[in-house]
A and B are shown apart, each in its own frame.
Chain A
Amino acid sequence: MREVEKRYGALQALAGVSLEVRQGEFFGLLGPNGAGKTTLISIIAGLARASAGGVSVMGADVVADYRRARRSLGVVPQELVFDPFFSVRETLRIQSGYFGIRANDAWIDEVMHHLDLDAKADTNMRSLSGGMKRRVLVAQALVHKPPVIVLDEPTAGVDVELRQELWQFVTRLNRDGHTIVLTTHYLEEAEEHCGRIAMLKAGRIVALDSTKNLLASFAGPHPADLEDVFLRIMQRH
């Protein structure tokens, strides 16, 4: 991301964000509500256009070379959206097709298995619980085996069991070489999983370092946790 700016009328949602997430990283994007996290993700995914600056995914510009950029990217949106016309399997087959992948059933079955969706494969999306819908959103982001996966608050409103399963699965994907970009309000999750963290406030990066360094720089007589670090950085800016 190079000097990314985004204005909505008078509102400056992003005020020049530059950031490089390295291949294979587990990267956290933290910040209070309205800091610009989702706007930044929307620009990466092509759902919004930057007012200035640019973004590339795996070397492909998200505007000029959007086809290649989007093939490299899987996005799990924050909102619990679904298409009520289709079953889980239909949803995943259609999503594969959008990426130009035919006969993807072996991978779809594997993803459904890891997300514990096998039993719901032929259930209509309307009939699923919130947690199950969240799993389908994750599966949809993975159907085309993207090297980069963006999770926008994937555990908001999710029960403990699914949260643990989700993290196991995402950690495995990261181990297998996928780059993970995560936004979350649960700072203990970020502390546990993210190797590096950027903190956003009012559309600017106010901290960018490895999780270890961030924790060390604020350690007093007692070791700091990420919540302490976050609050102190936010107060400082």
Chain B
Amino acid sequence: MTGFNTLLYKELLRFWKVAFQTVAGPVLSALLYLVIFAQALGEHVRVFEGVPYAAFLVPGLVMMSILQNAFANSSSSLIQSKITGNLVFVLVTPISHLEFFGAYVLASVARGLLVGAGVLAVTVWFVELRLAAPLYALAFALLGSALLGVLGLLAGIWAEKFDQIAAFQNFLVLPLTMLSGVFYSIHTLPALWQQVSHANPFFYMIDGFRYGFFGASDVAPAASLLVVAVSFALLSAATLWLLKSGYKLRT
């Protein structure tokens, strides 16, 4: 177990050493979103009955930060190690593909949750929030960050340059989070776009997490949790298979 523990510790230390960039920065961004969107749109956007827009926005921003940072952690760590060549230090050790997977994904979960907690800590002062179903909130935070940690790992395995990770981030993760209902309830969308939103796995994570706070959501939380869990299982299986085969890591 020690090889796994060490790799996890190294991954945690890696982002913690630059916490200003990896934790504080995303917390500030989320706070800016809240201030600007709540100020500019607060009067105009109708979301759940009896829930002010700013309060609606906070859980969405927390989850968005969790997801984006979980992805950023595993993907940037792996691509940096590949490009600088220091991944060899891990590849020559007895660490198995399962341990490798577990360490990278858990470190992503840790960074996601830390940033999420930070965003919650600075935004909670501006709104009145209660936790209607805390276990749901926790389940979505854990499973969502794990899913994005796996996606980051997959991107890191596949990518050969930083550009490709940036493309993954800008053309997949960012649009899917922005269009997942962080800033609006999908019930306010035209029917077609509501349908399209249902094909976006990020929507279920945001919606389910928000249920944890308000006890209200666009989709039943158990159904959302199932979608997220199945996505996690499928993506994990694919990533583990690639790691076992040594795809793009061992020539």
Residues in B lying within 8 Å of A, measured CB to CB: 1-3, 5-7, 9-10, 13-14, 17-18, 81, 84-86, 88-96, 246, 250-251
Contact = CB atoms under 8 A, between A and B. Distances in A.
Q: How big is the A interface, by class?
A: 20 to 34
Given A8-B251, A98-B3, A83 B89 contact: yes
Interface string A79-117: 101111110001000111111111000000000000000
Interface of A: 8, 42, 45-49, 66-68, 70-71, 73, 75, 77, 79, 81-86, 90, 94-102, 140
A95 B3 CA distance: 9
A49 B94 contact: no
A236 B93 CA distance: 40
Given A47-B251, A98-B3, A73 B92 contact: yes
B14 A46 contact: no
B94 A67 contact: yes
A16 to B, nearest CB: 19
Q: Which 3 A-B pairs have the closest CB atoms?
A: A97-B6, A81-B85, A67-B94
B2 A75 contact: no
B19 to A, nearest CB: 12
A98 B6 contact: yes
A84 B5 CA distance: 20
A95 B89 contact: yes
A32 to B, nearest CB: 21
Contacts of A42: 251
19 contacts: A8-B251, A47-B88, A47-B251, A48-B251, A49-B246, A67-B96, A73-B92, A82-B86, A84-B84, A94-B6, A94-B9, A95-B89, A97-B5, A98-B7, A98-B93, A99-B3, A99-B93, A100-B1, A100-B2
